[in-house]
Amino acid sequence: MKYITKYKSSNYNSRNNSKIKLIIIHYTALNNIEEAISYLCNLDRKVSSHYLISQKGEVYNLVKDKFRAWHAGESFWQDFTDINSISIGIELDYSPFGRNNKFSTKMIYALKELIIKIQRKYKINTNNILGHSDIAPFRKKDPGKFFPWKKLSNYKILPEYTKVKNSKVKLIENWFHNNNYKTKKQKIIIALSIIGYDTRQVYNNSKLYNKLISAYSSRYFNIYKNIKVKSIYLILIKHLIKFMLTKN
């Protein structure tokens, strides 16, 4: 895979020997690739990413992997709060309100190839390929409800949750019962927490809870919208089971 390396961002610092564990997918929300390069390489902006992918599928390497790019901001995953130190950030030249409001076939193919390369190099678990909205659900929506997670799932670089047997769902339900998780809301929160989401403030804050559910639904109903369920609950429980089976 060839990278365009003539543009470099100075917005980075040391990882301090932190191991790379996550891949985070963003969109730029800017008008075009030129504007995105300028923005991510502008020292005054104090933001960057390791990679930027154009609508044509061109991959720009703006910050070397060994450095800590500044793409995640205030985020959380699996008790980690310094997400920049343990992640690779990938920006996509996409804006919901611009002419670049499609995730082109060439872009997604390049993204798939890049993820596979990074995943193999750093031995990143398939559970740890995330969107910005996964690690910052209360303030971010990217890569957005139209991002084709289903295509990445078809490439076998994401876990497959629908193949989990219903008998295993029953085991989880029994575990909930034995641990005195009675309401569906309690079960949803504990499941999201185990998977890695930030649930620290959602128990008594319905606004944050709804944002968290919206972020999760935006991603996973996108993948499994053919599943006839009235809520995200069944998908989430199967996700939890698959996560527990594949987290190492």
Q: In what order do the strands lie in the sheet with 129-131?
A: 59-61, 51-53, 87-92, 22-27, 129-131
Runs of H (alpha helix) within the chain: 33-40, 105-122, 132-135, 149-154, 166-178, 184-195, 206-223, 233-246
Q: Angle formed by the axes of helices 166-178 and 233-246, to 10°? A: 90
Is residue 35 part of the annotated active site? The answer reads no
Tokens for 104, please give them. Answer: 């082109």
CB atoms within 10 A of CB 235: 20
For β-strands 12-14 and 22-27, DSSP reports them as unpaired
Q: CA torsion 34→35→39→40, rounded to 10°?
A: -40
Indicate which residue of 58, 74, 91, 160 is catalytic.
91
Distance CA 71, CA 50 (A): 9
The string over 155-174, giving b where at least 16 C-beta atoms fall within 10 Å of a residue's C-beta and e elsewhere, is: eebbbebeebeeebeeebee
Contact 132, 22 (CB under 8 A): no
Catalytic site residues?
91
